[in-house]
A and B are shown apart, each in its own frame.
Chain A
Amino acid sequence: MSSIVSIQKLTKTYANGFSALKGVDLEIREGEILALLGPNGAGKTTLISIICGISVPTSGTVLVGGHDVVQEFRKTRALIGLVPQELTTDQFETVWNTVTFSRGVHGAKSNPALIEQILKDLTLWDKRNAKLRELSGGMKRRVLIAKALAHEPRILFLDEPTAGVDVELRRGMWAAIGRLRETGVTVILTTHYIEEAEEMADRIGVISGGELLLVEEKRALMQKLGRKQLRLELKEPLESLPPTLAALGLTLADGGRGLVHEYGNGAGEGRIGAVLAAIEAEGLSISDVATRQSSLEDIFVSLVGERP
């Protein structure tokens, strides 16, 4: 797959001396959903702002569709739709006017049929003549998405698309983004919700302190960094771990009531049979079994060292 966005050695230092990006390299593939995870102030929004043209890079290059975002901004910006983090709307405008404006300001010829379709897809059609200030937060968020889609972009940036959105609406938003991907649109989203990245993304990038710590296929990332745990509850607590079990790497938990076997990272899977056989041989009776796979959240915390 070819890169639709190509970022090389990108740095951004603000006028006050704050260094928001410290040499970011990133290739975004056409048609993928890339989630950028990172704590507040990691540089996610700065990165997006530079790609979209709201901020200017201090050094480095960003190519969108093969064009430089500074030199050939007309070509790059026409390809991009942006849904900002803040619910910034023109309170006194109607839904229809603000979405139509978005299409025009991107240089696209007016196309009421397309706007109608977008509004219907986002279940905003009934509200087309409503003023934005009359809408709920979730609807405003969808208006911002409609605005971003109005000029038929090939790349859609969603900066914290589901911040402050209730669970049901969040599911709806994910479904809408999923449908977009089917039309070939590349989606880049930043999020605090690791659940969101886990649910939707093909690849995941982790940003912290202005640096891109890693970009990986979601599955590969889960496999590489994901830990698995087998936990066995014992009917009778053990005072000490029998040597045969210790040799297999098991540990005691809960004052002898639990046996824990850690595996994952590509190691230890094959030993589960041996572990169970050894427990049987020791004559221990088991009351419950649980396995657990570490989530992206655990992976993220271990990478960044703090909660997002």
Chain B
Amino acid sequence: MNIEAIKAIYFFEMARMKRTLLQSVISPVITTSLYFIVFGTAIGSRINEVGGVSYGAFITPGLIMLTLLSQCIGNASIGIYFPKFTGTIYEILSAPVSMAEIVIGYVGAAATKGLIVGLIILATASLFVDLTIAHPLIMLMFMVLTAVTFSLFGFIIGIWADNFEQLNLVPMLVVPPLTFLGGSFYSIDMLPPFWQAVSHLNPVLYLVSGFRWSFYEIADVNPLISLAMIAVFLTLCLSVLAWIFKTGYRLRK
């Protein structure tokens, strides 16, 4: 294991993120605050409680997930796409590092930053609503697993993307709808049966539901099923990556 190389990649990425700290933290904080003002205060005042918790508190886990997903995918995809785009990837490809070490460096850094931003959102949310966290450790575990899984997913997107449009396609076009339709802002009980069934095809539902359970012990699906679904998605991402490394897809000609 080339520990020095993993450290070099990890800290290089973290330093890159530090330079963009302002935009990467301020913007989600403002966005989340707006969500709280619009959904929590304006609309939430007309919705009393969902599953026994105030509406503002109910949407908090979903908002954190939304930020966590988009941050992790965005960070990890740009992290590997940028060296590909500028050509500096030659150095990583000609360095004595294995693909696994490259992934640990890049994905580790992306997940770390995603978690930092996620926790900042959590702190921001606590300014607007009274939060109770029933299972803090399980909550952290959900966050870490989600961060790692979606950073892996972002890394795959970064390798696959040939241009900036493709790079932004998934974070912009796929993640928000999945999050909005994944029960971030409502309990899927509120939906007609047909849409409830459709919602169960949405992976984000399981993330949000399990994550919310760790706060309030209320869930759309059994938290163990949520956990299992994250594990499935994690395995899927790892398998795709294993294939990419084996074939050198878009990296080594």
Contact = CB atoms under 8 A, between A and B. Distances in A.
A97 B15 contact: yes
B236 to A, nearest CB: 26
B96 A52 contact: no
Given A14-B253, A147-B91, A104 B7 contact: yes
Interface in B5-23: 5, 7-9, 11-12, 15-16, 19
Interface stretch (A78-86, A199-207, A208-216): A78-86
A56 B91 contact: no
Given A86-B87, A104-B8, A74 B2 contact: yes
Interface residues of B, number: 28
Given A54-B90, A77-B95, A82-B94, A92 B253 contact: no
Interface centre among A91, A101, A103, A147 (most CB of B within 10 A): A101
B4 A107 contact: yes
A62 B13 CA distance: 33
Interface in B49-76: none
Nearest to A101: B12
B248 A105 contact: no
A105 B91 contact: yes
Contact of B2 (A84, A107, A110): A107
A54 B2 contact: no
A120 interface: no
A285 to B, nearest CB: 63
Interface string B73-107: 00000000001001110111111111000000000
Interface residues of A, number: 36
Nearest to B94: A52
B94 A55 contact: no
B46 interface: no
A287 interface: no
B248 A56 contact: yes
A119 to B, nearest CB: 17
Contacts of A103: 8
Contacts of B83: 90
Contact of B88 (A54, A74, A89, A100): A89
Nearest to B252: A56
A77 B96 contact: yes
A292 interface: no
Given A14-B253, A109-B4, A53 B94 contact: yes
Interface centre among B11, B15, B87, B248 (most CB of A within 10 A): B87
B94 A80 contact: yes
Interface in A84-117: 84, 86, 88-92, 97, 100-110
Interface string A29-55: 000000000000000000001001111
B87 A106 contact: no
A101 B19 CA distance: 16
B87 A91 contact: no
Contacts of A56: 248, 252-253
A104 B252 CA distance: 21
Nearest to B7: A104
Interface string A179-213: 00000000000000000000000000000000000
Nearest to B10: A104
A15 B253 contact: yes
Nearest to A79: B96
Nearest to B15: A97
A168 to B, nearest CB: 27
29 contacts: A49-B253, A53-B93, A54-B90, A76-B96, A77-B94, A77-B95, A77-B96, A82-B94, A84-B90, A88-B86, A88-B88, A89-B86, A89-B88, A90-B88, A97-B12, A104-B4, A104-B9, A104-B11, A105-B91, A105-B97, A106-B4, A107-B3, A107-B4, A107-B5, A107-B95, A108-B4, A109-B4, A110-B4, A147-B91
4 tightest A-B contacts by CB? A104-B8, A88-B87, A77-B96, A52-B94
Given A74-B96, A91-B86, 20 more contacts: A15-B253, A54-B252, A73-B96, A74-B2, A77-B94, A77-B95, A80-B94, A82-B90, A82-B91, A88-B88, A104-B5, A104-B9, A104-B11, A105-B91, A105-B95, A105-B97, A106-B96, A107-B96, A107-B97, A147-B91
